[in-house]
Amino acid sequence: MQPAAYLPASSSRWRARPHAVRRRSLARTSDLVLSAMVCAFVVTLFAIFSEQYHHWFILPLIASGALIGRDMVPWVRRREMLFSPAGLLSLLGIHVFFISPLLMVAWAYEIPYLQGQPDDWRDWLGILAVLNTVGIYLYRWGREFVRNRPDRTARTYRLLDAREFPIVVWTAIVICTAVQVYLYVDFGGPSGFVYHYLYDPEAWKNTGWEFAIAESAPVLAMIALAVRLRHSSRRPGWVLLTVLLGAFFVIQLVFGALRGSRMNTIICLFWAAGIVHYWIRPIQRRLVLGGIAFLLFFMYFAAFYKNAGFKMFSAFEGSVERDLLTAKTHRTFRQVLVADMARSDIQAFTIYRLLQPRRFDYAWGRTYSGALALLIPQPLWKDRPPGKVKWTTELEYGAGSYSAGTFHSSRVYGVSGEMMLNFGILAAPLGLLIVGLVTGKIMRFLDRAHPHDCRLLLVPIWICLCFGVLVLDSDNVLLLVVKYAAIPGAVVMFTSRTVRAGGLKP
């Protein structure tokens, strides 16, 4: 059972001790200075080996890296929880805002299949870094503003009902598994899945709700097993937990990977690890670093599946076969680091295009309303608005290039990029403010959470929501909430009741 002392102290304790406030302020300042020194050192190394970095764009790049890295320093130095939303987001942010732009210049990176890219990315990356610096400041302000607000529900928590929960969760698992079996039969088994994914994507239309139900089974099973292990007489060891996570990964591949969604597997695997951490026993930091390396490996090789199906296994046969598959699919490790794990390339390109003389009609919020419209099945709303794909296509290929069902762009722009599509370049920092508000809400819950609160089972997907808001578009974020969180969240909340910290029901 997770001890109450493991949870972080609430902000009210800091306010009650002025000397502690001063120490905390000094620590934050030293974190910022150390982060800035590390970022400046890294840029200096790049500048020593290449004159490409003798350019003004490195100054705002260091500023944005130092600001987001300020949260990574206490995480690395163990002053923050391992699964701290701010700490984990800083790990992703240091890559998104700092490392990725440096790599783009070092590799003379080009966006695949896109014409009219700038010859020199540095000016546009510099403008993006200025916007990101402002945005990261707004992110931090919004996060602390929400985190430090009083919480009227802090004296209560949600407790699972020991009789209702097993019945409901295992019934849901059986139903979800049955739907997955039906889908396999309907699509002709695993080979049919691969064929329709590669050559007949129209077959997936109007099946989103079915897949949302079916692919909830692994997470529901993980939640059920975690609750059972927590109440067992013996504390499970790491051998058992490692085997459990490995089995979960294999099952998740069966339930979601054949449709080509790497995000599906990564999100659910992170959720499973978070359930172990929050509900069974804290995960060690070295295991997290090993998990990150494994996810990079998985993202690289799973990227081949998006274009080659089961032929991806030839990538394991040797470097020659891997090079041939890379040339055929245009999927490289560079693209994974720059395009899949960050949005610096497409956001810099957006700035480049929006500052060109040619006209671009902004969406003015219609990408967000289009995302909400996805909740209504197309057969019920035949004239459903197109969403973001209309504006991403016309930004990349020119006005009038979008054709529903025939030609459209599938690139993901991230929260800042989508803001620019809607309201212009100066709106980009507001996207990071949204990330801060979401992160602050989650951190406020963790600051005050009771160790028996069953909502801790859902915290990992909330943290994934922070990642999603940062690097995904509104339609992807909506998919994340509805597809991944809706059914497990409903099961947990339906089978729990609100209890006062003293044990009495309100």
Per-residue pLDDT of 16-73, as tens digits, reads 445 554 566 676 788 889 999 999 999 999 999 989 999 999 999 999 999 999 998 8
- What is the predicted pLDDT for the residue at 24? 64
Residue 75 has pLDDT above 90, yes or no: no
d(Cα 65, Cα 94) in Å, to the nearest integer?
6
Residue 12 has pLDDT above 80, yes or no: no
- 206 in the Ramachandran plot: left (φ > 0), alpha (ψ -120 to 50) or beta? left
d(Cα 248, Cα 255) in Å, to the nearest integer?
10
d(Cα 464, Cα 481) in Å, to the nearest integer?
10
Residue 231 pLDDT grade (very low, low, confident, very high; cuts 50, 70, 90): confident
- What is the predicted pLDDT for the residue at 14? 34
Residue 379 has pLDDT above 80, yes or no: no
- What is the predicted pLDDT for the residue at 318? 53
Residue 4 has pLDDT above 60, yes or no: no
- What is the predicted pLDDT for the residue at 314? 47
- What is the predicted pLDDT for the residue at 302? 63
Using alpha carbons, select from 415, 457, 500 the residue that is nearest to residue 2. 457
d(Cα 75, Cα 89) in Å, to the nearest integer?
10
SS3 per-residue string spanning 71-123 = CHHHHHCCCCCCCCHHHHHHHHHHHHHHHHHHHHHHCCCCCCCCCCCCCCCHH
d(Cα 432, Cα 25) in Å, to the nearest integer?
23
Contacts of the segment 282-289: beta carbons below 8 A, 24+ positions apart: 282/2, 282/6, 282/82, 283/82, 283/83, 285/78, 285/82, 288/82
pLDDT one-digit tens code per residue, 461-485:
999 888 888 998 998 888 888 888 8
Helix (H, G, I), strand (E, B) or coil at 450: coil
Residue 307 pLDDT grade (very low, low, confident, very high; cuts 50, 70, 90): low
Residue 197 pLDDT grade (very low, low, confident, very high; cuts 50, 70, 90): low
- What is the predicted pLDDT for the residue at 10? 36
Domain ranges of the chain: 4-147
How buried is 251 (Cβ within 10 angstroms: 0-12 exposed, 13-18 middle, 19+ buried)? middle
Alpha helices, DSSP H only, in 355-427?
366-373, 388-397, 414-423
How many Cα atoms sit within 13 Å of 195 on the Cβ side? Answer: 8
- What is the predicted pLDDT for the residue at 502? 60
Q: Answer with the residue of higher pLDDT: 506 or 391.
A: 391
- What is the predicted pLDDT for the residue at 386? 82
- What is the predicted pLDDT for the residue at 2? 38
Q: Answer with the residue of higher pLDDT: 211 or 124.
A: 124
Distances (CA, A) of 368 to 387, 391, 478: 7, 12, 10
The answer to whether residues 29 and 35 touch, using CB atoms and an 8 Å cutoff, is no
Segment 194-215 mean pLDDT: 70
Q: Which of 11-20, 25-34, 190-199, 251-260 has the lowest mean pLDDT?
A: 11-20
- What is the predicted pLDDT for the residue at 331? 61
pTM above threshold 0.85: no
Task: Please state, rounded to an integer, the average pLDDT across all residues of the chain.
Answer: 82
Residue 506 has pLDDT above 50, yes or no: no
- What is the predicted pLDDT for the residue at 261? 65
Residue 316 has pLDDT above 70, yes or no: no
Q: Answer with the residue of higher pLDDT: 116 or 141.
A: 141
Counting residues of the chain whose pLDDT is more than 90, the rounded percentage is: 36
pLDDT one-digit tens code per residue, 421-431:
999 999 999 99
- What is the predicted pLDDT for the residue at 1? 36
Residue 332 has pLDDT above 60, yes or no: yes
> What proportions of the chain, in percent to the nearest 5, are helix, strand and coil?
70, 0, 25
Residue 154 pLDDT grade (very low, low, confident, very high; cuts 50, 70, 90): low
Handedness of CA 491, 497, 501, 506 (dihedral sign): positive
- What is the predicted pLDDT for the residue at 428? 94
Q: Answer with the residue of higher pLDDT: 433 or 500.
A: 433
Q: Which of 142-146, 152-156, 220-224, 272-276 has the lowest mean pLDDT?
A: 152-156
Q: Which two tokens stand for residue 397?
A: 């290929």
Contacts of the segment 223-228: beta carbons below 8 A, 24+ positions apart: 223/169, 223/275, 223/457, 223/488, 223/491, 223/492, 224/166, 224/169, 224/170, 224/173, 226/275, 226/276, 226/279, 226/280, 226/457, 227/160, 227/165, 227/169, 227/279, 227/457
Segment 118-145 mean pLDDT: 95
- What is the predicted pLDDT for the residue at 81? 81
Residue 122 pLDDT grade (very low, low, confident, very high; cuts 50, 70, 90): very high
- What is the predicted pLDDT for the residue at 13? 37
